[in-house]
Amino acid sequence: MQTSTQLSEIYTSEAGAVYQCDRRNRLLVQFSGELVELKLDTFLRLKKAVDSINLEQMAVNPHRSSDFEIISVCGCDRCFVLTLPELHDFKELLSEARFMMELNSMLHECFSSQLA
């Protein structure tokens, strides 16, 4: 027996994509050639961790240790090791995906209230 997984595209950019899998109730984040499956709360923790990184401070810091950032969140089995340009792209990807999820939720609420 073979089942196909239905993925809905949430947001796509040159850097990656975020998809929603309704069957498994997960988000799939494609970035740097890898695909990571996350629950919604883990996605939000990851976004919060990435948002907390000060890219400007990282850019002006002369120490070699500031050339990359290691990001790990509870509920995600992947550890992200990202350079400044990768962090910029990843931050944008996660932010835009979150915005699209909020927009879809608002539209769903508006349409549902009009039908009721």
Q: How far apart are CA 32 and CA 58, in angstroms?
A: 20
Residue 84 domain-assigned (yes or no): yes
Residue 2 domain-assigned (yes or no): no
| Cross-sheet strand order for the sheet of 16-21 | 7-12, 16-21, 26-31, 34-38
Report residue 98 CA to chain centroid gap: 7
Residue 5 pLDDT:
62
- If one counts the domains in the chain, the total is 1
Residue 18 domain-assigned (yes or no): yes
Residue 1 domain-assigned (yes or no): no
CB neighbours of 15 closer than 8 A, spacing ≥ 6?
A: 31, 89, 90, 92, 93
Give the predicted TM-score (pTM) of the model. Answer: 0.87
Q: What is the pLDDT of residues 23-46, one digit of tens each?
A: 889 999 999 999 999 999 999 999
Residue 111 pLDDT:
77
3-state SS class at 106: helix
Residue 88 Cα distances to 7, 85, 103, angstroms: 25, 5, 22
- Low-confidence spans in the chain with pLDDT less than 50: 1-3
Range of the domain at 23: 7-115
